[in-house]
Amino acid sequence: MTLDPQMIAVMEKRATLTGGASDLTGLTLDEIRTVYNTERAWWNEIAPEMHEVLNTFVAGPVREIPIRIYKPTHLTQTPTLLYLHGGGWVVGNLDTHDRVMRLLAELSGACVVGVDYALSPEYRFPVAINEAQAVLDWLKIQGPNHGLDSSRLAIGGDSAGANMAVSVTQLCHQKNPGLIQCLLLYYGAYGLTDSAAWQKYGNADFEFTREEKEFYLASYLSTKEDRNDPRFNVLGGDISLLPSAFIAAAECDPLQDDSTALYEAMQKAGRSATLKIYPGVLHSFIHYSRMLDQATEALRDGADALKAALG
């Protein structure tokens, strides 16, 4: 295993952006979010122009949910991607993932609807999932009024957002089979409690430690039983309910085996899935397309999968 030289350059840039504040244990929750938002701001400074960007709200189970609709062209009734950002359910928002969503819209021609779901620990599992479901229900009814074709619908996300995308799809297809036609998943956590990848890459050298994992899980989940809930441990859910999926993984990521496990489970269940592991890159690599060619490649691959699935 050799890190991509561009990935090493990214790591060096990130160190300057965070001021070396990489250890979560010494920071308050507000400080963690401030460091994350500040670091992500640089990666989002340059982003594709959209025909229209609309910020609005959807009524949710506990509050109004902010969403952002990215329209790459003037065309109406285009396919739609509902996108759930990563950040361990604790950090992240529409701005931290703005460039990712704009690139997916530009490269696929689909409208992208980003969801600013409620973060933990203020709102614990399953509030964020319930909010994503509420936005999905809104899309089915109100989407056409905003030029969104809810009959050609995909759900995607990165990391925690990829976990939620699978969970929401499983829940949706229990009542509305086939509503979601494609999953676009980047380095998600799907339910493995330990793996060879965690043994190999779960340390500070690869910028994702076991202590960080436990911090995120303890913030998101309330009980040990939650870790086995199929809305979190989606590998324990009904894999046969899933549509076609593009599953992207980073080689040097402790979550790599989660992606492989989901791909193998879908194969076993007779579901269509593509797994691509990007060599020499770390978790969260799709954020770094300003410096990392493989980030752009992964987003383009995902956009191509969307076009193939949704037309």
Please list the pLDDT of the chain residue by residue as tens digits (311 residues): 699 999 999 999 999 998 876 667 688 999 999 999 999 999 999 999 999 999 999 999 999 999 999 999 998 888 999 999 999 999 999 999 999 999 999 999 999 999 999 999 999 999 999 999 999 999 999 999 999 999 999 999 999 999 999 999 999 999 999 999 999 999 999 999 889 999 999 999 999 999 999 999 999 999 999 999 999 999 999 999 999 999 999 999 999 999 999 999 999 999 999 999 999 999 999 999 999 999 999 999 999 999 999 98
159 is catalytic: yes
95 is catalytic: no
Q: Using CA atoms, how far apart are residues 305 and 300, in angstroms rounded to an integer?
A: 9
pLDDT at 193: 82
pLDDT at 194: 87
Among candidate residues 158, 253, 258, 301, the one labeled active-site is 253
Q: Using CA atoms, how far apart are residues 107 and 127, in angstroms rounded to an integer?
A: 31
Contact 57, 85 (CB under 8 A): no
Label the pairing between strands 273-282 and 52-59.
unpaired
Domain with residues 5-310, CATH architecture? 3-Layer(aba) Sandwich (3.40)
4 is catalytic: no
Q: Using CA atoms, how far apart are residues 102 and 72, in angstroms rounded to an integer?
A: 8
pLDDT at 1: 66
Q: Which of 306, 152, 150, 160 is nearest to 220 (CA)?
A: 160
Among candidate residues 108, 283, 289, 301, the one labeled active-site is 283
Instruction: Please report the sign of the dihedral spanned by the C-alpha atoms of residue 184, residue 63, residue 56, residue 144.
Output: positive
Q: Using CA atoms, how far apart are residues 25 and 2, in angstroms rounded to an integer?
A: 28
Among candidate residues 108, 120, 150, 159, the one labeled active-site is 159
